Amino acid sequence: MHRRLLSSAAGSTRVWDLGVRLFHWSMVGAVAIALVTGLSGPANWLNVHIEAGAAIGGLVAFRVLWGFVGSTHARFSSFPVGPSAIVADLAGLAGGLRPRYTGHNPLGSVMALALLAIATMTAMTGVVTLGGVDKQGPLAFATSYGAGKATQGIHQALAYGLLALIAGHLLGVAYEAAHGQPDLIRAMVTGEKAGSVASDHPAPRKARPILAALVITLLLAVAAREVAALSARPALGVPASPPDPTYVKECGSCHMAYPPSLGTSARWTALMAGLADHFGEDASLDPALMLSIRAYLINNSAEKWDTRPSHELAELSPSDPLRLTATAFWIRTHRQIPAAVFKSKAVRVKGACNACHSDALTGRFDPQKIEIPARALQ
């Protein structure tokens, strides 16, 4: 690889083909949306986050393919990532006289590959998290809540790692712009760099867009079919058990008939044993009816489920162990909701889960199904 500096030359040099430029700016948009919706967006933006993650996965797949069939500087074979090239680039960085390259320089090549790698891992861990924590997506049928929760921590760490790499990338672009390559951003728009930048001479290669289009179309078709088929399978730990009509009639007449998955068998046993003083009211039932409802609740309690609510709500409040809204999980997930919302006519009480969760009666509580009534916000 030539490292000599070229003298100034008129005109410009075509460097980045259309495939590289479309990938770059599409990736900027997809990553920005994924980071915003994942790190600071409301829970019911999950669909947008999933779509952004899917876009990232597809874009990475395209870039990997384009790295083998794209034009000269799009190909990975043009990336100067050998040890000697990296050492020379670092030495030049320290000494103030760096080798110049038409395409990616060694440090830029390492950064580009690192960004691709961490974006890939972030997307993959996102699929596992989605399957285990939210019981959605192609891995929901095989991923436990525990596995999803553990992977969620990795997914978040990778997201912050991606932010750090992006910051490093931007600093690198700023440094290059201040030290002789001010047209880097323009080149990613037009595809051309100033002629004086040209210094390396990889073997010229023509892009093969038709081959890339055929391969990507095939991959997308296969992936879409498999994802749809896997996503249609029943989620692990989400029983398809219909609510007991007697329970719904007797308990739902006073408040929402809470899904059995929201309480452990011990909690349901204690609640049914204390109906004479049920949160300050007498909710006594005929003994036979009480035993029937208790059996239903215990047979379908949190221990039989593997969802986020069934696990998180199992951690009782020491001061108020029977009240769901007193659990640390409930308080944490509702802390940003104004108290006035719960006092509004549209909600009335904290325990009216179905006022904001349209799937509350199923026990799933999918983030996408959250919508605070407009009247409650007025």
Burial 75-106 (b: 16+ CB within 10 A, else e): bbebbbeeeebbebbeebbeeeebbbbbbbbb
Q: State whether 219 and 276 are in the same domain.
A: no
Output the six-digit token pair for 280.
């300050």
Q: Is residue 7 part of a domain?
A: no
> In the prediction, which pLDDT does 92 show?
85
Could you tell me where the beta strands, DSSP code E, fall in 45-151?
A: none
Q: State whether 208 and 335 are in the same domain.
A: no
Looking at the DSSP bridge assignments, the partners of residue 251 are none
Q: State whether 225 and 337 are in the same domain.
A: no
Longest dimension (CA), the chain: 96
- What's the chain's Rg over C-alpha atoms? 28
Q: How far apart are CA 172 and CA 166, in angstroms?
A: 10
Mean pLDDT score, 38-49? 94
Write down the residue that tokens 């043009």 correspond to. 78
Q: Which of 77, 89, 84 is nearest to 113 (CA)?
A: 77
Q: Which of 117, 118, 92 is nearest to 105 (CA)?
A: 92
Higher pLDDT, 98 or 271: 271
Task: State yes or no: pLDDT of 8 exceeds 70.
Answer: no
CATH code of the domain in which 194 resides: 1.20.950.20
Q: Is residue 3 part of a domain?
A: no
Say whether 134 sits in a helix, a strand or coil.
coil
Q: What is the pTM of this model?
A: 0.90
DSSP 8-state class, residue 227: H
Identify residue 131 by its one-letter amino acid code.
Answer: G
Task: State yes or no: pLDDT of 164 exceeds 90.
Answer: yes
Q: How far apart are CA 43 and CA 377, in angstroms?
A: 17
How many domains does the structure of the chain reveal? Answer: 2
Higher pLDDT, 185 or 160: 160
Specify the pairing of strand 192-194 against strand 12-14. Answer: antiparallel
> In the prediction, which pLDDT does 99 show?
77
Q: Is residue 236 part of a domain?
A: no
Q: How far apart are CA 2 and CA 371, in angstroms?
A: 60
pLDDT tens string 11-27: 678 899 999 999 999 99
Q: How far apart are CA 210 and CA 109, in angstroms?
A: 26
Q: Report which secondary-structure segment, H or E, holds 209.
A: helix 209-231
Q: How far apart are CA 251 and CA 309, in angstroms?
A: 20
Q: Is residue 269 part of a domain?
A: yes
Domain boundary among 173, 208, 231: 231
What is the percentage of the chain residues whose pLDDT exceeds 90?
Answer: 80
Domain boundary among 189, 206, 231: 231
Q: Is residue 322 part of a domain?
A: yes
Q: State whether 196 and 329 are in the same domain.
A: no
Q: State whether 356 and 210 are in the same domain.
A: no
Q: State whether 114 and 254 are in the same domain.
A: no
Q: State whether 284 and 180 are in the same domain.
A: no
Band (pLDDT 50/70/90 cuts) for residue 175 is confident
DSSP 8-state class, residue 370: B
pLDDT tens string 219-232: 999 999 999 999 99
* 3-state per-residue secondary structure call for 320-335: CCCCHHHCHHHHHHCC
Q: Is residue 35 part of a domain?
A: yes
Write down the residue that tokens 């044993």 correspond to. 273
Q: State whether 181 and 58 are in the same domain.
A: yes
Write down the residue that tokens 């390396």 correspond to. 200
Mean pLDDT score, 104-131? 96
pLDDT, mean over the chain: 92
Q: Is residue 240 part of a domain?
A: no
> In the prediction, which pLDDT does 10 show?
45
Output the six-digit token pair for 175.
């440094």
Task: State yes or no: pLDDT of 6 exceeds 70.
Answer: no
Residues 6+ apart with CB under 8 A from 225: none
Band (pLDDT 50/70/90 cuts) for residue 7 is very low
Could you tell me where the beta strands, DSSP code E, fall in the chain?
A: 12-14, 192-194
Q: State whether 330 and 285 are in the same domain.
A: yes
> In the prediction, which pLDDT does 377 show?
81
Q: What is the DSSP string of 298-361?
A: HHTSGGG--SHHHHHTTS--SSSTT-GGGSHHHHHHTTTS-HHHHHSTTT-STT-GGGTBTTGG
Q: Phi and psi of 278, rounded to 5°?
A: -90, 90
Mean pLDDT score, 80-88? 91
Q: State whether 268 and 225 are in the same domain.
A: no
Looking at the DSSP bridge assignments, the partners of residue 192 are 14
Q: Is residue 239 part of a domain?
A: no
Q: State whether 129 and 219 are in the same domain.
A: yes
Domain boundary among 206, 231, 256: 231
Q: Whole domain around residue 335: which residue ranges?
A: 245-377
Q: State whether 93 and 144 are in the same domain.
A: yes
